[in-house]
Structure 1
Amino acid sequence: MNRNVITALFGLVAMLWTLGFIVIHPYSPSSTNDIYLIPEGYEGDIRVNYNVQGAPILLKEGKYDVIPVGIDGIFNTSKPEMEYGLVTDLYFYVNAAGERTPIDKLCVCVKGNGSSEIGSTVTRHTDLAITRTKCGEDFMAWGK
């Protein structure tokens, strides 16, 4: 076979493979889409535990999962897995009447995710911190 024919065939196969990948597996970024409802005045660490047997499921508000954080900063859910991707979460303080006050993103430090395993049960965690008094770029980035 002629070298030009081989090069052309190779180029055609590469182009078809790339086109097929784009059509079959389009890029679709995922996002976290959580609404955190935090007791009014709370300041400190928050942990959400996923895949906790007997814990409540997460309620939905549109495309968002609603996470009602307890006064101890913890919420357990039976939802097996958290969402990953672009962090699109919303944070609110909630008073006794259920009224929401938005929390500025500079008052939130998203610390990260982890997991633990007991027997064959894997519990996933997401951790963050909330402040009322130290809001700013440093708190958002480092939690301090």
Structure 2
Amino acid sequence: MNKKIRFGILGVVVLVVISLFFIFKEERQQYMFLIPEGYKGEVTVTFDQPNAPSLTSEHKFIVFEVPSSGKIETSDSNITGTIDYYHVDAKGNRTKIEDTSNVIQDLHTESGGSENANKQKNNMPETLSFFVGTSQEYKNSAN
């Protein structure tokens, strides 16, 4: 086989691989948590609450504005994705939290339900929770 044919086949294979990558590339949801500067404590998001507002979006991010209570309710469903965290000062300036392992503890989701003796189901909505603070502050909060 001559060189032109081999390079032609190689070019077609490369184009097919690149095309398949973009066709099947999974777009993951991206979240942004805006945490008031100085906030320490639990943050809990409760999803699928019919009377709660939808979350806002900013560019490619779904935005969670953490109130002083740390509790957020939304009518939106939880979708697996990546999370960026920011501290927000009194003027609204944001500082990205780069070293999350020293600031964000015990990130987890929960959902489920139970059934009582009368076969009545009690469904628990899905929640996403984490603690804002050092690992020592997290341990102290459990006491």
Return the TM-score normalized by structure 2.
0.63
Q: Which residue of 1 aligns with 2:125?
A: 123
Letter in 1 for 2:70: G
Q: Is the 8 A contact 1:34 1:89 kept in 2?
A: yes
Looking at structure 1, the residues matched to 53 and 107 of structure 2 have their Cα atoms a distance apart, in angstroms, of 24
Gaps of 5+ in 2: 1-19, 115-120
Whose strand fraction is larger, Structure 1's or Structure 2's? Answer: 2
**Change in CA separation of 1:120 and 1:29 when aligned onto 2, cut-off 3 Å:** farther
- Residue equivalent to 2:16: none
Of 63, 71, 95 in structure 2, the residue corresponding to residue 101 of structure 1 is 95
In angstroms, what is the RMSD of aligned CA positions?
2.6
- Maintained 8 Å contact 1:52/1:77: yes
Q: Distance in 2 between matches of 1:116 and 1:65?
A: 24
Unaligned residue ranges in structure 1 (runs of 5+): 1-22
Distance in structure 1 (CA, Å) of the matches to 2:108 and 2:29: 12
How many residues in Structure 1 have an aligned counterpart in Structure 2?
108
Percentage of pairs with the same residue = 28
Note the alpha carbon deviations across 1:108-130, whole angstroms, 9 max, x for none: 12421112559686521001111
Contact kept in structure 2, 1:55 and 1:76, CA below 8 Å: yes
2:108 to 96, 100, 112: 112
